[in-house]
Amino acid sequence: MRQLIGKCLSLKSGVIGSLGLNVYEEDRLFFRDLSNALIRDDVFARLLTFPNVLITRHQAFFTYEALSEIANKTIENRHPATSDSSHSAKLSN
């Protein structure tokens, strides 16, 4: 949190020209519509006031590779007796 406060000051003074974040400590802010709610996170609220700041929720697990790995691990865990390569199901393109 202290680093983000420093980034706010750097944005305000022009030391940082723009800032993009795809991971935020309080990721719970992204999972529902809070358009009409009071945001109690002062740092997040301040970051939203800058026109040169983009904040998105963490998206890494939405990649094809990550989802394929999750599915393959699920298949392996469901059928541990058949997890050798001759019997296990694998996802492919």
Does pLDDT of 9 surpass 70? yes
Q: Let me know whether 7 and 40 are in one domain.
A: yes
Do residue 72 and residue 91 come from a single domain?
Answer: yes
Same domain flag for 47 and 92: no
Pair (36, 74) in one structural domain: no
Asked if 38 and 6 sit in the same domain, the reply is yes
Question: Which phi and psi (to 5°) does residue 54 adopt?
Answer: -125, 125
What is the SS3 assignment for 73?
helix
17 pLDDT band, cuts 50/70/90, is very high
First-to-final CA distance of the chain: 41
Print the domain residue range for 90.
61-93
Between CA 54 and CA 11 the distance in angstroms is 12
- Same domain for 65 and 48, yes or no, is no
Into how many domains does the chain fold? 2
Convert the pLDDT of each residue in 53-66 to its tens digit: 888 776 666 778 87
Same domain, 54 and 65: no
Confidence band for 82, pLDDT divided at 50, 70 and 90: low
- Read off the tokens for 83: 């997890």
Same domain, 12 and 31: yes
Whether 84 and 91 have beta carbons less than 8 Å apart is answered as no
Going by C-alpha positions, the residue among 32, 34, 85, 27 that lies closest to residue 61 is 27
Torsion of CA 69, 72, 78, 82, to 10 degrees: -140
